[in-house]
Amino acid sequence: MRPLEDVRIVSLEQYGAGPFGSMHLADLGAEIIKIEDPGAGGDVGRYVPPYAGGEDSLFFESFNKNKSSMVLDIRTPEGREVFHDLVRSADAVYSNLRGDVPEKLGIRYEDLRHVNPRIVCCSLTGFGMTGPRSNEGGYDYVLQALAGWMSVTGEPGGAPQKTGLSLVDYSGGFVAAIALLAGIHAARRDGVGTDCDLSLYDTAVSLLTYPATWHLTEGYTPARTHHSAHPSLVPFQAFEAADGWLVVGCAKEKFWVRLTEVVGRPDLAADPRFATFADRDRHRDVLVPLLEDAFRERTVDEWLEPLYAARVPCAPIHEVAGALDDPHTLARALVVETEHPRFGTVRSLRSPVRVGPPGDDVVPARGGPPMGRDTDAVLAGLGYDDERVAALRAAGAFGPPPTPQDAARPLSEVGSGVEGTAHPTPEAPSAPAR
């Protein structure tokens, strides 16, 4: 058994941060029942270009492996009835919506404790459920600006830059996964559930880490550094070689001594201006140009061989293709293949979260579910018979009441009714950014 096979999570998630967090739990065996609002066309991530068509996109596939999907409108009385039955059977309700939406939808612990006293209600929002921004939607780009990230990214004197990846979203997903597991553990121990009020804003600010400590305690002012240099460890930055770029880092004094031998300047190790971390930091304006001149004399490969041999931390600066083709990426089985009716074989990335002996911790993956694929199976698991399903369906619990032609078809075949149409804007904006 995988570690979380006894965990069931009902998820009202969409776009990036929320689905990213629950996907890691799904990879560990948790049952993720993804509720998609049929009136909004389901998860907005299904429609993200450029590789999208109908209710499918490669963006969606990146965040929703190993999950189930059911269509359900929990704002209708009948849909709410089904939702409560799911809550009775679940360990947690997980969402990534705007901070004021969990109360409106009735998915907080105080709204659901009468249904299941052990339920954990985990909300990953843009700004949290309290504070002056709690009713704002959160987007990765906006959060990187607000949290100060952009002020320390890029070259000195240049425009502020965001990171190349949506790291606030993804870090928020990891934070939510940790909180979910902690909440479920406590509920099983104590018999009482709880709320988990998480936000992308909190996540982004908390990731300021030691520069924030330096600023709060000693008044340090973080700033952008030349060629992505470490703010205090010198040298630790990107260097330009004759044919490309590499990173070299001396995180320990012994690496500095070895580096001087590799670049043919052992005299630098003996120079009192460069004797310690503090000395090199004070004299970086002298030292770094000397090293930059040296690195320009050879190609990246010509530098990597002696640097590896001397065990000086270093790496070529890959493009994305190089990272995905790296032998270590392949050896770690980070690339996974799933089959999809529209896209054929989809190659995407496996979760880095693993539990088990090395080599035995990789299991086959299922692609992201078509919208509503598992509605019938989930309802059957709740004990619903055909008559009850038909009544709920006629009442609009799974979207607009079906046409006569749809009446005899399984819910998984009816879908959301938006195939081939423009994706409708969801009523409640999601926390993650585009």
Query: Collapsing DSSP states into helix, strand and coil, what is residue 278?
Result: helix
Per the CB < 8 A criterion, the answer to whether 117 and 91 are in contact is no
Number of Cβ atoms within 10 Å of the Cβ of 391: 12
At the top level of CATH, the class of 8-206+333-414 is alpha beta
Regions of the chain short of the pLDDT cut 70: 361, 402-434
Q: What is the reported pLDDT for 412?
A: 55
Q: What is the reported pLDDT for 406?
A: 57
Surface-to-core class of residue 124, CB atoms within 10 Å of its CB (0-12 exposed, 13-18 middle, 19+ buried): buried
CATH 3.30.1540.10 location in the chain: 245-316
Query: Using alpha carbons only, what angle is made at residue 132 by residues 126 and 137, rounded to the nearest 5 degrees?
Result: 25
Per the CB < 8 A criterion, the answer to whether 31 and 22 are in contact is no
pTM across the whole model:
0.88
CATH 3.40.50.10540 location in the chain: 8-206+333-414
Point out the catalytic residue in the list 27, 43, 169, 374. 169
DSSP 59-118: HHHHH-TT-EEEE--TTSHHHHHHHHHHHHH-SEEEE-B-TTHHHHHT-SHHHHTTT-TT
Query: Residue 95 forms beta bridges with which residues?
Result: 12, 123
* CA contacts within 13 A on the Cβ side of 253: 8
Per the CB < 8 A criterion, the answer to whether 236 and 230 are in contact is yes
Strands 8-12 vs 120-125: parallel, antiparallel or unpaired = unpaired
**Is the bond leading into 235 cis (omega within 30 degrees of zero)?**
yes
Q: What is the reported pLDDT for 207?
A: 97
Q: What is the reported pLDDT for 424?
A: 37
Q: What is the reported pLDDT for 403?
A: 64
pLDDT tens for residues 235-294? 999 999 999 999 999 999 999 999 999 999 999 999 999 999 999 999 999 999 999 999
Indicate the length of the chain as a whole number.
434
CATH number of the 245-316 domain = 3.30.1540.10
Query: Collapsing DSSP states into helix, strand and coil, what is residue 230?
Result: coil
SS (H, E, C) 15-51: CCHHHHHHHHHHHCCCEEEEEECHHHCCCHHHHCCCC
**Is the bond leading into 50 cis (omega within 30 degrees of zero)?**
yes
pLDDT tens for residues 150-189? 999 999 999 999 999 999 999 999 999 999 999 999 999 9
Can you tell me the distance from the alpha carbon of 287 to that of 281, in angstroms, rounded to the nearest whole number? 9
Q: Is 169 one of the catalytic residues?
A: yes
